[in-house]
Structure 1
C-alpha cells in the first residue's frame, strides 16, 4: 500500500510534494500542524480506506505508547505510581503473609533449610552405623582385660581416628562414615551469615540486568550489611543512575558537523534520519544537509537520499571525485551537517582507508559512536576499539526495543566514560528517539529485564524466581 508522510513549511508546499510523489489521484488521509510547518499523510484514491485503517492503527499504537510513558514517568494528568513501586508493595504483602504462616525470618530461611538437611544426613549416618553394629556376628567372650571399648559417636568435636590394627573391615567403614560426618559439619560451619545472604538477591537482580561484574562490585560497595532488601535494591539503582554519563541536552542544537560511526547494522542511517526530521520540524530544512561516505556497498546511500527527498534537504555523496574534505567545505554555510559513515569491520580492507579519511578532515567535526543494545559486549568493545582513535564525543544507544538486556550497553558507557547523547527504541521517524536521561535509561533497563524474565518463564512463574517483585 502506497501511503506516505510529508513534512513541509506550509500546506502549499506539502500539497505540491504530495502531487509529485503520490500522483494526481492522491487523497489526503490526515494533516496537522507541527513544529516548523505541517505534516500531511497521503495515499492513492483506491487505497484511501486501507490508508485510513492503517493511520488509525498507528495513532492507536502511539496513544498506547504515550500512555505507557505517562504511567512510567508520572507525567501528564494525575501522577501515577511507577510499576516498580506497585510491584514492591505487592511483594511486601506476600512477604508479610508468608511470615505470618512461618515465623522464620526470610533472611535466615536458607540457613534453616541447610540445617535441616544437615540434621537429616546426620540421623541417616547414625542409623547406618547402628544397623551395621546389629548385623555384626557375635564375638566370643574375652577376658575383661581384653574387651574393646565400644566406639562413641559424639559429633563434637571429632578427632582424627588412627588406622585400625588387624584389618577390621567394619571398623574401617565406621571410620569412613565418621570422616563424612566431620566434612559435613565443617561445611555447615561455613554457612554464610544472614547479613551475607541478604546480598544474594541483590546480586541476582544486578546480574539479571546484564551489568558487568566490575560494575556490580562497584554498586555493591554502597550497600551496608543488614540493609533491608528493598532498600538495598533502591540504593543500587540510584548509584547506577548516578554512574551513567549523559549529555543531558539536544546535541544537534549546538549545530556543527557530526559524524556517526560504528559497525554495520547498528542503525547509523536511521538515527540520522530521525535527528534530521526532528531538526527540520523545529527549524525548517534550509539549514540542514546530509552526507554519506558509504560508497563501498551497492546502493548503500539510497536510504539517506530517500530521507533527503522527504525532508527536502540536500544529500552529498563522498566518492573518488568528491573527497570528504571538499564536500564539507561546500556545506560550511549549513548550520547542521549530519555525516553517515560506512560500517566496516576491522578485517575489511577499506576500514583503514575510511578511518584515515575521517582523521584527515581539517574542519571541526564531532563524532558519535552508535552502539546497538542488541549486540554482545564483545562486539560493542570491538566497535569502540576500531573508532576510539578518532576522539569520540559520545554515543547513541540504538535498538533498545530489540534487546533483551540493556546492562551490557550501560556498563560499556559507564566504564568507558562515554556520554549517552541519544537513546533510540524503534523504527518510527522522528518519534522513536530521545535525549539520553540517567533515570530513564535505568528504568528502561529494569523493565527490559522484567520482560525478559516473563518471556523466559513461558507462563510458569513457579520455575523462575520473581527477582524484581521486591523493589
Structure 2
C-alpha cells in the first residue's frame, strides 16, 4: 500500500504536498504536530479501492498525479486545500462521513451505470444496542434501558488475493486499527460534547473502575438526564451487576468444604478464622473443622492453631493429597470445614500444584481478594486463580482500601459472586455479609485528591484502543 508521510510548517502546506503526490483522490489517514510543524500521513483512494477489489499492488488502476493533463503546480494545489485544511480540526466522525460521501460522489460521477462498490472490506451486521463491543452481552432492564436503537458492527472480510499472506494480514490489521481508532476518538468526541457524561466518565476512572467497564456503562446511559440522575443510574447499574449471596444462605449456614485460595498476604488465614468463629457461635465449636495446607510460610500453622484454640476448634495440618483426603474423611461429620492454603503469586510455578491438590469432590473454592489492591494486580490474580463454574470471592481488608472500584470492577467483569467482606483484624467480629448497594456507594464516595487521579484532558490516554481489552464474556444488565 502506497502510504507516505508529509511534513510542513502548517497543515495547509502539508496537505498541499500530499495533493501533489496523490492528486484529487488524496485520503488523509491521520495527522499530528511535530517539532518541525505538522506531519500528515496520506494515501490515495485508489489504493484502498484496489485492496477492496482484491487486486495486488501492481493490479488495477495506477495512481496518477493528476487526472486531466499535466500535473498541477504547487500554487494550484494549494488553492484547492482550503476546505481540506479545516477537516483536520473537525471530529473523527465528521471526517469519516466526509471521506465516505466524497468517495461515493466521485465513483458515481465516473461510472454512473455501474453499482457503487463498498468503500471498506467490511460487511455490516445489524444487532441491538444491547450487544457490547467489550465482551459483555448487555441485558437491558425494561425500566431504564434506552430505546432499541441499532448500531452497526464492522466485520472484516478477507477477500484480498494476489498478495503474500503476511502482507494481506498486515494490511487488514492496519485497517482494523484505523477503524478502531476512529471509533474510539469519535466516541470521546461525543462524550466531550456532553459535560455530564464527561464528568461521570472521569468520576468512574477516579474511583478505580477500568476504562472497559466505564465505557460499557456510559455507552448505554439514557440521554436527557441531569447530573444527579446520571450518578444514581450508574450506581444502580453497578449494583445490579455486582453479584452477591444476598438471596442465598450465608457460608456458615450453607456449610460444606471451602478452600480459601489467593495471593500471599491477602488475609486468607484470618478470614478462615473469622468464618470458623461465626459458625462456632451459631452451631457450636464441634460443628467446625480447620485444615491448613500452608507448609511454606513460617508460623502459618501456629497462627491457625492459635485462632482455633481461641475458638475451641482443633486445626489440622495436611502435608499432601493423601493426608488431606484422610482429614476430610475424619471431619466429614462437621457442618463447615475450612481449608487454609498457601499464598502464592499468580506466576509462581507452585500454584498449579496447589490447585491440583484441591481437585477433590465437594471442595468449593473461595478466592480471597485484597480490596485495596491495584486494578492490574487484581486482574492478574483473578485470571490466575479463577475457576470454572460459578467462581466465588471474598473481599478482604476493606478497611485498608482507599478505592473499592478496582475490586468491584474485577468482580463484575469476571462474573464473580461476592460471599462476604472483612473489615478489620478482629476475629470473628470484623466480618460482614456482601451488600452490593453498600459496596458500590462506598466506591463512588468522594475521596481526597490523589496524585494518581486523572484530569479531564487525560481521558484520551485511558480510552485509547490499546489501553483497554475485551472483558470476559457474560451477562451484563444495563
Tell me the TM-score normalised to structure 2 length: 0.54
* Structure 1 residue 199, shift from structure 2 partner: 1.2
2:395 aligned with 1:397, yes or no? yes
Quick check: 225-234 or 265-274, which moved more?
Answer: 225-234
C-alpha distance 186-343 of structure 1, shift in aligned 2 (>3 A): closer
Q: Which range is displaced more, 210-219 or 194-203?
A: 194-203
Measured after TM superposition, the shift of residue 323 of structure 1 is 1.4
Residues 43-91 of structure 1 show CA distances to partners (whole Å, capped at 9, x for unaligned) of xxxxxxxxxxxxxxxxxxxxxxxxxxxxxxxxxxxxxxxxxxxxxxxxx
1:333 maps to 333
User: In structure 1, how many angstroms separate the alpha carbons of the residues matched to 2:321 and 2:223?
Assistant: 67
Distance 2:230 2:265 in 1: 38
Greater C-alpha Rg: 1
Go from structure 1 to structure 2 and tell me whether the alpha carbon gap of 1:409 and 1:188 turns closer, same or farther (over 3 Å shift): closer
Structure richer in strand, relative to its length: 2
Give the aligned partner of residue 280 of structure 1. Answer: 280
Distance 2:321 2:432 in 1: 37
Equivalent position of 1:77 in the other structure = none
Note the 1:178-197 alignment, pairs <5 A. Answer: 183=86, 186=89, 196-197=194-195
- Asked whether the equivalents of residues 400 and 424 of structure 1 are also in contact (C-alpha less than 8 Å), the reply is yes
Residue 368 of structure 2 is aligned with which of 367, 370, 375?
370
What residue is the counterpart of 1:319 in the other structure?
319
Kept after mapping to 2: 8 A contact 1:369/1:392: no
Q: Within 5 Å, give how 1:304-315 maps onto structure 2.
A: 304-315=304-315
Cα separation, partners in 2 of 1:194 and 1:379, compared to 1, 3 Å: closer
Q: 1:296 to 1:391 in 2, by over 3 A?
A: farther
Please name the residue that 2:432 is paired with.
Answer: 434
Which structure shows the higher helix fraction?
1
Q: Give the equivalent residue in structure 2 for 1:139.
A: none
Q: CA deviation at 1:373?
A: 1.5
* Residues 216 and 390 of structure 1: CA distance in aligned 2, closer, same or farther (over 3 Å): closer
SS of equivalent residue, structure 1 residue 323: helix
How many Å apart are 1:337 and its aligned residue? 0.8
Cα distance between partner residues in 1 of 2:237 and 2:381: 27
Partners in 2 of 1:277 and 1:322 — Cα distance? 27
Q: Using the alignment, how far apart are the partners of 2:74 and 2:424 within structure 1?
A: 72
1:239 matched to 2:237? The reply is yes
Shift of the 299–192 alpha-carbon distance from structure 1 to 2, 3 Å rule, reads: closer
Are 1:275 and 1:430, in contact at CA under 8 Å, matched by a contact in 2? yes
Instruction: Give the aligned partner of residue 197 of structure 2.
Output: 199
Contact 2:273-2:427 within 8 A present in 1 as well: yes
Deviation at 1:288, TM superposition (A): 0.8
Cα distance in structure 1, aligned partners of 2:419 and 2:320 = 32
How far apart, CA to CA, are the structure 1 residues paired with 2:88 and 2:312? 78
Residues 366 and 392 in structure 1, CA contact (< 8 A), matched pair in contact too:
no
Match of 2:470 in 1: none
- Structure 1: tracts of 5 or more residues without a match: 1-160, 165-171, 458-471
Counterparts in 2 of 1:192 and 1:369: CA distance versus 1, 3 Å: closer
Counterpart secondary structure, 2:411: helix
What is the aligned partner in structure 2 of residue 409 from structure 1?
407
What pairs up with 1:50-449 in 2 under 5 angstroms?
163=75, 183=86, 186=89, 196-248=194-246, 249-319=249-319, 323-359=323-359, 361=360, 363-389=361-387, 393-447=391-445
Deviation at 1:440, TM superposition (A): 0.9
**Shift of the alpha carbon at 1:390?**
6.6
Distance 1:193 1:316 in 2: 57
Partner SS state of residue 236, structure 2: helix
CA contact (8 A) 2:411 2:417 kept: yes
Cα offsets for 1:244-273 (capped at 9, x unmatched):
111114122111111111111111111111
Kindly tell me: are residues 346 and 203 of structure 1, through their superposed partners in 2, closer, same or farther at Cα, counting changes over 3 Å? closer
Match of 2:447 in 1: 451
Q: Note if contact 1:368-1:392 (Cα within 8 Å) is conserved in structure 2.
A: no
Q: Distance in 2 between matches of 1:309 and 1:386?
A: 33
For the 8 Å contact 2:405–2:443, the answer to whether it is kept is yes
Number of equivalences? 288
Deviation of 1:299 after TM superposition, in Å, equals 2.0
TM-fit CA distance, 1:184: 10
Question: Cα RMSD over matched residues?
Answer: 3.6
Q: 1:364 to 1:379 in 2, by over 3 A?
A: same
CA distance in 1, matches of 2:225, 2:210: 23
Counterpart CA distance in 1 for 2:309 and 2:426 is: 17
Q: How many angstroms apart in 2 are the aligned matches of 1:236 and 1:329?
A: 48
Distance 1:289 1:262 in 2: 20
Q: What is the CA-CA distance between 1:197 and the residue it aligns to?
A: 3.0
Q: Distance in 2 between matches of 1:197 and 1:277?
A: 50
Mapped to 1, the partners of 2:338 and 2:259 lie a distance apart of 6
Contact 2:390 2:417 in 1 (8 A): no
Shift of 1:411: 1.2
C-alpha deviation, 1:218, in angstroms: 2.5
TM-score w.r.t. length of structure 1: 0.54
